[in-house]
Amino acid sequence: MNAIFEGIGASVRRKEDLRFLSGRGHYTDDMNRPGQTHCVLKRSDRPHAIITSIDTSAARAAPGVVAVFTHADLDADGVGGVPCGWQIHSKDGSPMVEPGHPVLATGRVRHVGDPVVAVIAETRQQARNAAELLVIDYQDLPAVAHIADAIAPGAALVQEAAAGNTCFDWHIGDKDLVDAAFARATHRVKLDLTNNRLVPNAMEPRAAIGDYDAMSGDYTLITTSQNPHVIRLLMGAFVLHIPEHRLRVLAPDVGGGFGSKIYHYAEEAIVTWAAGKLKRPVKWTADRSEAFMSDAHGRDHASTAEMALDAEGNFLALRVATVANLGAYLSTFAPAVPTYLSATLLAGVYKTPAIYAEVRAIFTNTVPVDAYRGAGRPESTFLLERLLDTIAHDTGIDRIELRRRNFIPTDAFPYQTPVALQYDSGDYVSTLNAALKAADWDGFAARRAEAKARGKLRGIGVSTYVEACGIAPSKLVGALGARAALYEVAQIRVHPTGSVTVFTGTHSHGQGHETTFAQLVASQLGVPFENVDIVHGDTNKIPFGMGTYGSRSLAVGGTAMVKAMDKIIAKGKKIAAHLLEASVDDIEFANGNFTVAGTDRAKSFGEIALTAYVPHNYPIEDIEPGLEETAFYDPANFTFPGGCHVCEVEVDPETGVTTVVNFTAVDDVGRVINPMIVEGQIQGGVAQGIGQALLENAVYDEQGQLVSGSFMDYTMPRADNLPNISVGTETTLCTHNALGVKGCGEVGAIGSPPAVINAVVDALKDYGVRHVNMPATSQKLWQIIQDSSAQPAVANLSSN
Amino acid sequence: MYDFAYEKPTALAAAVASLAGDMDAKALAGGQTFIPVLKQRLNKPTTVVDLAALGLVGITVTADSVTIGAMTTHGEVALSAAVQKAIPALANLASMIGDWQVRHRGTIGGSLANNDPSACYPSAVLALGATIVTDRRSIAADDYFQGMFTTALEQGEIITKVIFPIPQKAAYQKFRNPASRYAMVGVFVAKTAAGVRVAVTGAAQGGVFRHAAFEAALSANFSPDAIAGIATSADDLNSDIHASAEYRAHLIGVMAKRAVAGT
Ligand SMILES: Cc1cc2nc3c(=O)[nH]c(=O)nc-3n(C[C@H](O)[C@H](O)[C@H](O)COP(=O)(O)OP(=O)(O)OC[C@H]3O[C@@H](n4cnc5c(N)ncnc54)[C@H](O)[C@@H]3O)c2cc1C
C-alpha cells in the first residue's frame, strides 16, 4: 500500500474529468427508463394574458399522445403550487406578498415561457406535433417588463395581490444615524446605477425524468439539480404531498448550474406527478430556447447609492435604495437575494459606521429572478466599488488612497458591520498590495501613453471586496426568513480493507468535489487518494444535505466530513488502544497510523478497519463493530472571502469596442485544498464577471418579449473576449471552521464586474465620463464618446 | 423538425427535377442555416434534396479569375493557398465566417442562395463583380441580390459555381455582431479593372449594397483619407439591440477606411 499520497494543497488532476472529457458523463438526458414517455410543455408566448379557453381535443387525438394535462388535472389531484423558500417582512412588519405560483398556468399567464399545457407522448417528436394542435385563446393584458414601468403610477398589475407591483418594501440599518451623518458631512456623493439582468446559460439545459413504481408506491425524480434533498423536501412536502421515504431524488452528473439549478421548478413536479398518474416514466428536456425563458434569471437591480464623507475622505454613512425585479412569480430563494444576501454586504471592506438600505422588490411580466453566481453580493459589490471610484472622481482623492483610508484594519477582526454581519477574518491591505504589484499598477501610466500612441484609450480599474458565503448558520438564516436549515451532512463509510466511501449532501455540477473532497479525506485519514470515493446526488444513498450554492460545499460540507472523520478517528483510537494494550489517551493518530505515544508500537488505519469489521479480538462490550460515522455540521457563521481584482482595458474610440488586456485577481479564499481547482473556479467566475460587465444582457422590450432570447442576441463571453486571467491567493484562515476554508466558487463573479467598469470609466476619463452601466457594449461607449465630444464639458455629474 | 423525405441525387439534372417538381422541396447544402430552421420548425419541406453528391466542389484559379464550386466550404476557401494568393481578401473573409464547425460545413452556394442580410460572402461577390452560375444561366452580381433573403434565383434553381474576377487589390473588414458573430457591418473594397467597388453587408435592411459615395471618392484617390469625411446616411439601415442605425452608419465609414488601409 504505497500509492501516491495526495494531501491538502496539491494540484491533483480532477478525477471526474476523465468521464466528462471523454463524453462518458451520465447526465439526466442521457438516461432512459423502460416504457418512458416524453413531455413537451406548451408555454405562453404572451407576456401577460387571461387564458380564456384551452382546447386539447385535437392534441389528445394526435398520434402517439398518451395524455394532455392542464392546471385542471393538477387541481383535481390537489397538486400544490411551487413554494418559496424565504419570507421577507416589509418595514411595517407585514409579510411579503406571496402570490401562488401554479405548476401549470391557472387563469392567467404572466411571462413569456409560463408553462400552460403538458403534452405527453410516446416520442418527443409526437409530443411536439401534438402541442402544435393545442388551441389556447388568450385575452391580452397590458404588461410591464422593466423596473421603471412596473413602479410607475397606474402600472398594470402583474399579481392582483401586489399593489404597485410591490412584493415587499424592506430595510436594514439605522436610518436616523445615517441621516444625521449626512447632515454633518463635508462631501456627499451620489450615484444611480443598475445591475443588468442575466440569463445563466448552464451548458446543460435542465431536464427531468419522473418514474413511479406501482408495487411499492415509490416515486423517483432524476433531475438537473444542485440540491436533490431540497427538491425532495419542497416538492414532496408542498407540491405533490409524497412522504420522503416514498420519493427518491437523483441529481446525476449536472453540467453547470450557477444557481439556476437550485430552485424547484414546475417541470420537476409535472413529470413526477404525471409518472404516478400514467404509471410510466415521463421525461422532459429543455431545449435552449426554453432555457432562456424558463431558467431563473439573475440580478436586475436598480439602485441609488449615496456616501457621506468627512473632509479627509473618511466614510461617515452610506445610504442605498434598491428596486429589485423578481419577475412574475417568487422563485425559491428570490426574496433573500436583494436583501440578506446583498444589503448585508454593503459595508464591504470598509469601516463605514452607519448604513441604511431600503429594498423594494417588485413583480414584472418576466421570467422569475433568483440567485445567480454570487447572488446579491455581485450587486452590492458593484454598487460599492463603483461608488468608491465615483467618490474619487468627484472629490479628487486618489482611488487607492480612498480605499486604504477606509479599509477595516487588519487588527479589527472579528469586525461587526452596521448591517448584521460579523466578519471573522481578513486582510484587505495584503490582497490590495499583492494585486497592485502583480498588475504593475505603478507602471500603468507608461502603458496608457503607449496605447494612446496607437490610438487606443487605456484604462485601469480596481475593486476591493468581501463577500459572505459558506451559507450557513441555520439559526441565523431562520431568523432572517429562511424556511429551511443550512447545515451540511457527511457520512464516512470505512470499508473492511480500509478504502473509504464518503456520502455528501453537497452536489458537484462542475466544481470538482470528487477530487477536492477525496484529497481532504485521504489526507486526514492517511489513506491513498484513489481509495476514497465521493458519492453525491442521491437522496436514497445520502442521509441528508442542503446542496451546493453560496460557495458552501467545502466550508460547510467539507467541515461536516472533518467532523465525521473525527468520530472515525476517535473510534479507531479505542480499537487501537485495545490491540496495542495501551490507554486510549496515549494513542496518537497521524499519517494513517495509530501509535502509542512515544513508542514505535502502531497499527495502520487499514488494520484498524479490518478489526472493526472482523471483531475477533475486540472490546465488543464497549464499542460496536464497524467503522462508519455521520456528522451534521451547522456552522457558527458565514465565511468571508475577499480580495482585490485589477482590470486593464483598451477602448477603441472609433468603434467603442473594449478589449480586456489584463486581469489580475488576488483573493483570500481561506485555506486552499487544490490550487488548480481554486484557480479554475476563480477564472470561471471572472469570465462570468467580464461577461456581465461587457457583454451579457437579458433584454425585454416594452411589451415583455425577451429580445435576447437566443445566442444570436444574448452575448455569452467566449474565449476570445477574455484575457489571460492571472490568479493569486493571499490567505487568512476562517476562524470558525476546522479547515480554515472560506470558499472560492463565486469570488470571481463578485469582485470582477466593478473592476472592469472602473477600468472602462478610467479609459474614458478624458471624455468627462463619470459612470457607465453594464454591459459596456461598444454601441454604448461609442454613444458616450459621441455625446461627450458634442459637448466636451464634464458630463453626467450628479454629485451634490 | 417535421418529418420529410430525403434525397441525395448524383446528377445535377436529377436534383433540378426534384426541386422543380415540388414547390415544397428544398435544397440542402452545409445545413448551417437550413438545419437550425428545420429544428425550430420554421420550415416544413416535403423533400430535402441534398446537393452533396453533385460534384459541385472545388476551386479553380486562372490568370484572371477564381472559380469556386457552390458546395465548397468556407473552410476550404479560407485555407486554399490558391485563393490566398489570387484574392487574399476572399480567403480572409471566409476565415472570419462563424467558427471552425460552421466553416467546415457551410458553403458558398448556401450562403449566397440564402442571402442573409448579415452574411459575409455577398459583400465579396458584389464588390468583386462576381458571376453566379446556376444550372440554367449566369447571373451578374449586380443583378443577383434583391433584398434580404431575396435573390434572382428562381424556384428550384441551383447555384453551381461562382466566378470571381481577380482584382488589383481588395480587402474585407468585418465588425462582428457581439452575440451571433455575423457581420453587424462588413465592408468589402475592391480595386478592379472595372473601377473601385465597395459593398456593405450587415448594415442595411435590404441586405448587401454598393456604396456609391465611397466608390466615387476612392476612384479619384484610393486612400483611407479620401473617404474619411464622407458620412453615410442612417436611413434604411438596421437598428437593433446591438447597434442603432446611426452606429451602423458610423461603423460603415470606419470599416471602409480600415479596409482601404488594409489592401
Ligand atoms: C453559428 C453560426 C455562425 C455563422 N456565422 C456566419 C458569419 O459570420 N458570416 C456568414 O456569412 N455566415 C455565417 N453563418 C452562416 C454559414 O456561413 C452558412 O454559409 C450559411 O448558413 C448557409 O450555407 P449552408 O451551406 O450551410 O447552406 P444551407 O443551410 O444548407 O442552405 C441555406 C439555404 O440555401 C439553399 N441552398 C443551399 N445551397 C444551394 C445551392 N447551391 N443552390 C441553391 N440553393 C441553395 C438551401 O435550400 C437553403 O434554403 C453562420 C452560421 C452559423 C450556424
Distance B32 CA to ligand 1 centre (A): 5
Query: Measured between CB atoms, which of B180, B244, B251 is closest to A712?
Result: B180
Q: How far is B32 from chain A (nearest CA, A)?
A: 14
- Looking at residue A15, its pLDDT comes to 95
DSSP class of A79: -
- Looking at residue A683, its pLDDT comes to 98
- Nearest 10 degrees: CA dihedral of A701, A703, A704, A709? -50
Q: Is residue B72 part of a domain?
A: no
d(CA A502, CA A277): 36
Residues 6+ apart with CB under 8 A from A52: A137, A138, A139
User: Which candidate, A747, A742, A770, places its Cα nearest to that of A758?
Assistant: A770
Distance A125 CA to ligand 1 centre (A): 25
- Looking at residue B194, its pLDDT comes to 87
Element holding A371 (H helix, E strand): none
Instruction: Kindly report the three-state secondary structure assignment for every residue of A47-63.
Output: CCEEEEEEECHHHHHCC
Residues 119-178 of A with CB under 8 A from B: 125, 128-129, 132
Q: How far is B47 from chain A (nearest CA, A)?
A: 18
Residues 6+ apart with CB under 8 A from B109: B29, B51, B56, B69, B70, B71, B72, B158, B159, B160, B162
Task: Give yes or no for residue A5 having a pLDDT over 60.
Answer: no
d(CA A527, CA B164): 69
In A649-726, alpha helices (H): 675-690
Element holding A443 (H helix, E strand): none
pLDDT tens-digit map of A211-220: 999 999 999 9
Mean pLDDT of A221-242: 97
Number of folded domains in chain B? Answer: 2
Query: Measured between CB atoms, which of B40, B179, B247 is closest to A782?
Result: B247
- Looking at residue A2, its pLDDT comes to 32
pLDDT tens-digit map of A272-284: 999 999 999 999 9
Report whether A67 contacts A314 (CB < 8 A).
no
Q: Which residue of A has its CA nearest to B243?
A: A779
∠ CA A789-A791-A792 to the nearest 5 degrees?
A: 65
Any A CB within 8 A of B42 CB: no
3-state class (DSSP) for residue A559:
helix
- Cα-based distances in Å from A199 to A143, A298, A327, A708, B104: 20, 6, 13, 9, 30
Instruction: Tell the burial category of B128 from Cβ atoms under 10 Å away from its Cβ (0-12, 13-18, 19+).
Output: buried
User: Which candidate, A435, A508, A402, places its Cα nearest to that of A187?
Assistant: A402
pLDDT tens-digit map of A698-751: 999 999 999 999 999 999 999 999 999 999 999 999 999 999 999 999 999 999
DSSP class of A152: S
Amino acid at A673: I
Q: Is residue B7 part of a domain?
A: yes
Residues 109-128 of B with CB under 8 A from A: none
Q: Is residue B83 part of a domain?
A: no
- Looking at residue A728, its pLDDT comes to 97
Any B CB within 8 A of A75 CB: no
Pairing mode, strands A593-596 and A587-590: antiparallel
Spell out the domains of chain A, with CATH numbers in brackets: 17-24+487-633 (3.30.365.10), 31-141+206-285 (3.90.1170.50), 301-471+637-790 (3.30.365.10)
Q: Is residue B131 part of a domain?
A: no
Residue ranges lining ligand 1, Cβ < 6 Å = B 26-34, 51, 70, 74, 97-98, 102, 105-107, 109-111, 113-114, 119-121, 158-159, 181-182
What residues make up the domain containing B244?
169-261
Instruction: Give CA A176 to chain center in angstroms.
Output: 34
CATH code of the domain in which B245 resides: 3.30.390.50
Query: What atom of ligand 1 comes closest to residue B181's alpha carbon?
Result: 8
Instruction: Tell the burial category of A416 from Cβ atoms under 10 Å away from its Cβ (0-12, 13-18, 19+).
Output: exposed
- Cα-based distances in Å from A538 to A25, A226, A508, A542, A545: 16, 11, 12, 6, 10
Q: Is residue B254 part of a domain?
A: yes
- Looking at residue A796, its pLDDT comes to 38
Report whether A492 contacts A626 (CB < 8 A).
no
- How much is the ipTM here? 0.95
3-state class (DSSP) for residue B163:
strand
Q: Is residue B21 part of a domain?
A: yes
Query: Measured between CB atoms, which of B178, B250, B251 is closest to A715?
Result: B178
Rg of chain A on CA atoms, in Å: 28
Query: What atom of ligand 1 comes closest to residue B121's alpha carbon?
Result: 11
Mean pLDDT of A122-148: 98
* The three grid cell numbers given for residue A717, joined into one nine-digit string: 463571453
Residues 6+ apart with CB under 8 A from A20: A253
- Looking at residue A476, its pLDDT comes to 87
Any A CB within 8 A of B175 CB: yes
Task: Give yes or no for residue A465 having a pLDDT over 90.
Answer: yes
Query: Measured between CB atoms, which of B179, B240, B251 is closest to A715?
Result: B179
CATH code of the domain in which B27 resides: 3.30.43.10
Distance A224 CA to ligand 1 centre (A): 34
3-state class (DSSP) for residue A241:
coil
- Looking at residue A789, its pLDDT comes to 67
- Looking at residue A790, its pLDDT comes to 47
Successive 10-residue mean pLDDT values, chain B, 263 residues: 96 97 96 96 96 98 98 98 98 97 98 97 98 98 96 97 98 98 98 95 96 98 96 96 98 98 93
Distance A50 CA to ligand 1 centre (A): 40
Q: In which residue are the cell numbers 444557481 written?
A: A259
Residues 6+ apart with CB under 8 A from A191: A304, A305, A306, A386, A387, A390, A771, A798
d(CA A503, CA A514): 11
Distance B160 CA to ligand 1 centre (A): 15
Q: Is residue B198 part of a domain?
A: yes
pLDDT tens-digit map of A151-176: 999 999 999 999 999 999 999 999 99
- Cα-based distances in Å from A368 to A98, A234, A295: 13, 18, 8
d(CA B167, CA B165): 6
Q: Which residue of B has its CA nearest to A777?
A: B242
What letters, b where the CB count within 10 A reaches 16 and e where it falls short, cover A175-207?
A: bebbeebbeebebbbbbebbbbbbbbbbebbbb
The count of CB pairs under 8 A between chains A and B is 40
Ligand 1 test: best mutation among B111, B157, B162, B200, most atoms within 8 Å of CB?
A: B111
Residue at which a domain ends, from B36, B53, B70: B53
Q: Do B180 and A713 touch (CB under 8 A)?
A: yes
- Looking at residue A788, its pLDDT comes to 87
Distance B156 CA to ligand 1 centre (A): 16
User: Which candidate, A144, A298, A257, A287, places its Cα nearest to that of A711?
Assistant: A287
Asked whether the CA dihedral A508, A509, A515, A520 is positive or negative, the reply is: negative
Residues of A in Cβ contact (< 8 Å) with B44: none
Half-sphere exposure of A669 (CA within 13 A, CB side): 27
Report the mean per-residue pLDDT for chain A. Answer: 95
* The three grid cell numbers given for residue A35, joined into one nine-digit string: 416504457
- Cα-based distances in Å from A507 to A7, A513, A740: 22, 8, 21
Q: Do B179 and A777 touch (CB under 8 A)?
A: no
Element holding A84 (H helix, E strand): none
In A144-190, alpha helices (H): 147-151, 175-184
pLDDT tens-digit map of A468-492: 998 878 988 888 899 888 999 999 9
Total Cβ atoms within 10 A of residue B235: 9
Mean pLDDT of A296-313: 98
Q: Is residue B42 part of a domain?
A: yes
Q: Do B241 and A714 touch (CB under 8 A)?
A: no
> Under the phi-then-psi rule, with left for phi > 0, alpha for psi from -120 to 50, and beta for the rest, what region is A455?
left
Query: What atom of ligand 1 comes closest to residue B109's alpha carbon?
Result: 41
Distance B31 CA to ligand 1 centre (A): 6
Element holding A354 (H helix, E strand): strand A354-362
Query: Measured between CB atoms, which of B40, B178, B250 is closest to A777?
Result: B178
Pairing mode, strands B131-134 and B209-210: unpaired
